[in-house]
């Protein structure tokens, strides 16, 4: 008797005629008064459920089988046989069935065997992985994460575990969540009446990280090719289908590399991810193509075959200005202002029809650490824009020249003493280096066509919502 997963049973690990044992959850039960019932059993190991056929002479047919409802957990033993029906090649002729867990009050079980809205699934995030779409998203997410690590490993990158808690108070990538053990009802005060963080756990203010970039630059300046892959936190009050308060970001950083190398890396990396996904999860991708977004598989294949579209910011603005009347933009476009969502969408969706890299933005709309170009006006920044999502990657060549970095820090009104260790990288053997941040959830959205980012992470954290 082999105990196997549904995936193993369906893919030849068990020969027809062998007996096997499978454990899982019931998706549906269909009865035929020919004296048999059909059970669809899933265990998450693959998209498909396996069909168990139960004859009514089973000792517990009336007492157990006829009472089964969706989501009951079961252990079945039986023979793997070729199916007499359509829709599956093999099925299990059940010889023994054991109910492990019943469903309490089936009428109110939230994942009843019918179609549900994404909002409903989200409100039951603890049960959502049992659904077709919940399972498919989970496997796709895993596959993309594994592919990311594999890509970097195979290309000589080292994975750096950058800190979740940071006392760097000037990363400048958005609002931060405070980390503190102070008693909120009884805050220690300094003589001038301000909160005395010297009495806090770290002896100073601390927050959850908004990016591992500054930390990973340190390791880049020693191990040459590195990356982080971990959770990041933004306390922005963003209520959109593209933002989470807690999300996962992949941030590679490469030494002796300019912006063009950076864009090459982004392109090669994304293609590797998409190729892996199509190769490894055809079952789940077929489901998304059928029920969620008919174009998702084609989109990935096109991306893999095509070269990245690259465009200068100046060029992008020129095109947008030319098209602004026809496209009826709500906001005007001109050199020196950041592109609005509608402009980004126009570029990637209408003009190019696939992801596009916009490079060399005006320095005033970008971060202090981005490398100043020779024109003195722009910085070596890049944004990868994807149809339906907008910015999926943000990156840049970093400023490696200490005096230029200091001038930028000063010009932006930042305090150089906050950047002591970061400046040291430029003092001791500085090198040109580049990197980017890829929003992991946005990548999953792009691959699956799922519209709301809250549906591609197990337990989404958003303003006013940290349930589960």
Partner RNA sequence: UCCUCGGUAGCUCAAUGGUAGAGCAAUCGGCUGUUAACCGAUUGGUUGGGGGUUCAAGUCCCUCCCGAGGAGCCA
Do β-strands 19-32 and 2-3 pair in parallel, antiparallel, or remain unpaired? parallel
Q: Does 17 bind RNA (CB under 7 A)?
A: no
Among 238, 276, 314, 324, binds RNA (CB under 7 A): 238
Between 369 and 388, how does the x/- string for binding to RNA read (CB under 7 A)?
--------------------
Among 146, 199, 237, 302, binds RNA (CB under 7 A): 237
Contact assessment for residue 315 and residue 347, using Cβ atoms and an 8 Å cutoff: no
Between 427 and 456, how does the x/- string for binding to RNA read (CB under 7 A)?
----------xxx-xx--------xxxx--
User: Nearer Cβ to RNA, position 270 or 425?
Assistant: 270
CB of 384 to RNA, least distance (A): 8
CB of 338 to RNA, least distance (A): 6
* β-bridge mates for residue 357, sequence order: 310, 384
Q: Does 234 bind RNA (CB under 7 A)?
A: yes
Instruction: Compute how many residues bind RNA; rule: CB under 7 A.
Output: 76
Q: Which of residues 47-106 bind RNA (CB under 7 A)?
A: 51, 53, 67, 69-70, 83-88, 91, 93, 106
Among 63, 198, 199, 240, binds RNA (CB under 7 A): 240
Rounded-to-integer distance, Cα 364 and Cα 414, Å: 14
HSE-up of 130 (CA within 13 Å, CB side)? Answer: 23
Q: Does 194 bind RNA (CB under 7 A)?
A: no
Q: Does 324 bind RNA (CB under 7 A)?
A: no
Q: Which of residues 256-315 bind RNA (CB under 7 A)?
A: none
Among 31, 169, 279, 415, binds RNA (CB under 7 A): 31
Contact assessment for residue 233 and residue 245, using Cβ atoms and an 8 Å cutoff: yes
CB of 186 to RNA, least distance (A): 26
User: Nearer Cβ to RNA, position 280 or 310?
Assistant: 310
Among 18, 96, 196, 342, binds RNA (CB under 7 A): 342
User: Nearer Cβ to RNA, position 222 or 365?
Assistant: 365
Per the structure block, which two tokens stand in for 166?
């940071």
User: Nearer Cβ to RNA, position 197 or 263?
Assistant: 263
In what order do the strands lie in the sheet containing 178-179? 165-166, 206-208, 178-179
CA 448 to chain centre: 11
Q: Does 325 bind RNA (CB under 7 A)?
A: no
Q: Does 141 bind RNA (CB under 7 A)?
A: no
HSE-up of 438 (CA within 13 Å, CB side)? Answer: 25
3-state secondary structure of 249: strand
CB of 310 to RNA, least distance (A): 17
Q: Which of residues 348-367 bind RNA (CB under 7 A)?
A: none
Judging by beta carbons within 10 Å of its beta carbon (0-12, 13-18, 19+), is residue 191 exposed, middle or buried?
A: exposed
CA diameter of the chain: 86
Q: Which of residues 386-425 bind RNA (CB under 7 A)?
A: 390-394
Among 5, 7, 13, 38, binds RNA (CB under 7 A): 38
Q: Which of residues 246-265 bind RNA (CB under 7 A)?
A: 247, 249
- Write phi, then psi, for 18 (nearest 5 degrees): -80, 155
Per the structure block, which two tokens stand in for 263?
């864009």
In 3D, which of 217, 26, 36, 211 has the Cα closest to residue 109?
26
Q: Is the dihedral of CA 171, 172, 173, 174 positive or negative?
A: positive
67-79 burial string, b = 16+ CB within 10 Å, else e? Answer: ebbbbbbbebbbe
User: Nearer Cβ to RNA, position 140 or 197?
Assistant: 140
User: Nearer Cβ to RNA, position 59 or 85?
Assistant: 85
Distances in Å between the alpha carbon of 397 and those of 46, 209, 229, 359?
41, 21, 19, 10
């Amino acid at each position: 008797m082999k105990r196997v997963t549904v995936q193993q049973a369906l893919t030849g690990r068990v020969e027809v005629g062998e007996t096997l044992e499978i454990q899982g959850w019931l998706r549906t039960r269909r009865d035929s008064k020919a004296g048999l019932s059909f059970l669809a059993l899933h265990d998450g190991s693959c998209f498909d459920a396996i069909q168990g056929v139960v004859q009514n002479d089973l000792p517990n047919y009336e007492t157990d089988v006829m009472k089964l409802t969706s989501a009951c957990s079961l252990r079945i033993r039986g023979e793997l046989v070729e199916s007499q029906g359509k829709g599956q090649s093999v099925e299990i002729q059940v010889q023994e069935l054991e109910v492990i867990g019943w469903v309490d009050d089936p009428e109110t079980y939230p994942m009843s065997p019918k179609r549900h809205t994404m909002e409903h699934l989200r409100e039951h995030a603890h049960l959502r992985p049992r659904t077709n779409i919940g399972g498919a998203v989970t496997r796709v997410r895993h596959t993309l994460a594994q592919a990311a690590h594999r890509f970097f490993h195979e290309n000589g990158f080292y994975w750096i575990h950058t800190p979740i808690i940071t006392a760097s108070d000037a990363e400048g990538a958005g609002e931060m969540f405070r980390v503190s053990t102070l008693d909120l009802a009884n805050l220690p005060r300094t003589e001038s009446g301000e909160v005395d963080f010297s009495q806090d756990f770290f002896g100073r203010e601390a927050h959850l990280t908004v990016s591992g970039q500054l930390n990973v630059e340190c390791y880049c300046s020693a191990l040459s090719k590195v990356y982080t892959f971990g959770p990041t936190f933004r306390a922005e009050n963003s209520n959109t289908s593209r933002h989470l308060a807690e999300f996962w970001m992949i941030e590679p950083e490469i030494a002796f590399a300019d912006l063009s190398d950076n864009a090459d890396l982004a392109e090669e990396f994304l293609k590797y991810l998409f190729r892996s996904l199509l190769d490894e999860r055809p079952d789940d991708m077929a489901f998304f193509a059928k029920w969620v977004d008919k174009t998702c598989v084609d989109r990935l294949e096109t991306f893999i075959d095509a070269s990245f579209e690259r465009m200068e910011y100046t060029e992008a603005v020129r095109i947008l200005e030319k098209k602004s009347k026809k496209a009826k933009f709500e906001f005007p476009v001109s050199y020196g202002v950041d592109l609005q969502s509608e402009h980004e969408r126009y570029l990637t969706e209408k003009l190019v029809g696939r992801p596009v890299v916009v490079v060399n933005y005006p320095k005033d709309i970008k971060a202090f650490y981005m490398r100043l170009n020779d024109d003195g006006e722009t910085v070596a920044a890049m944004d990868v824009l994807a149809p339906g999502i907008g910015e999926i990657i943000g990156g840049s060549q970093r400023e490696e020249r200490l005096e230029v970095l200091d001038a930028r820090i000063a010009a932006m009104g930042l305090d150089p003493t906050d950047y002591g260790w970061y400046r040291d990288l430029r003092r001791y053997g500085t090198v040109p280096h580049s990197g980017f941040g890829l929003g992991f959830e946005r990548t999953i959205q792009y691959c699956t066509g799922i519209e709301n980012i809250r549906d591609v992470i197990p337990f989404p954290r958003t303003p006013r919502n940290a349930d589960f």
